[in-house]
Amino acid sequence: MNNYSKNLYYKDMEIKQAKELAKEFYAKNYTPQLLRYGNLKLGSNVAIWDLPSIITCKYKCKDCYAIKAERMYKNTRVMRAFHYEIIKQALSDSKKHYYFVNYINTELRRHALMYKLPVVRIHASGDFFSDDYYRLWQEIIVNNEDIKFYTYTKVYSNEVIDKINKCYDNFNIVKSLVDDKHLNYGDLDYLEDITKTLEAQGKEYTICGYGHSDNKLTCMGNCTKCLTCSNVLFIKH
């Protein structure tokens, strides 16, 4: 398992608080809403699950947007660390695994009743830090076929991502590393080079227009490309 020393924004007292919350969670004395809903970019129909950045990621990327909230807000650090702690316990204890999965499934069933297009973004911050952790989400995805799930990852190769995406109608992984080496975001000149490569390979791609399009684009509103396309490129802003 990864440790907090990789991300120095996490303070010892905050980690201790997160571990206490995890203890209370599995003792059934703490029943929080685990998923947060929407942000400046995403609509309220999107439930979001986060883990600590850097700690659970394979790479420490320059200009990582997920780090900003951790740098600024103690509550963000505590809740992401709390998520990490309950996941680690769920992966090592079958009873806690069962409790976590059922807890999330119950929250997701409520979410599915509220929206015509219920969506879950796995990891606005964080990544699949182990195969066992991926399989935990796989179990949740299979149990909730009426909900669309998507994520971005640098952990799995493009070949593995293509295989995973073919297995599901309700789950899509967007490749954060195009061709396993180039980040899927950058300035216009950078993206032009990436698109030429993808076109030469005959691969489908789309460039996200959020913040740059003349249209009033809303993520998971009038644009749902991240639910179906594995090569989504972003203009750095």
Bridge partners (DSSP) listed for residue 21 = none
**Is 187 a member of any domain?**
no
> What does the block give as tokens for 66?
């997920």
Domain count, the chain: 1
33-41 LR contacts (CB < 8 Å, sep 24+): 33/107, 34/83, 34/103, 34/104, 34/107, 35/104, 35/107, 35/108, 35/111, 35/120, 37/111, 39/124, 41/210, 41/219
Flag whether pLDDT at 216 surpasses 80. no
**Is 184 a member of any domain?**
no
Predicted confidence at residue 214, as pLDDT, reads 54
Distance from first CA to last CA of the chain, Å, rounded?
33
Predicted confidence at residue 30, as pLDDT, reads 98
**Is 233 a member of any domain?**
no
**Is 32 a member of any domain?**
yes
pTM higher than 0.85, yes or no? yes
**Is 209 a member of any domain?**
no
Choose the weakest-confidence range: 168-177, 203-212, 220-229: 203-212
Q: Which domain holds residue 142?
A: 4-174
Predicted confidence at residue 213, as pLDDT, reads 59
**Is 230 a member of any domain?**
no
Tens of pLDDT, residues 119-163: 999 999 999 999 999 999 999 999 999 999 999 999 999 999 999
**Is 22 a member of any domain?**
yes
Torsion angle of the four alpha carbons 7, 62, 228, 125, in this order, in degrees rounded to the nearest 10? 20
**Is 61 a member of any domain?**
yes
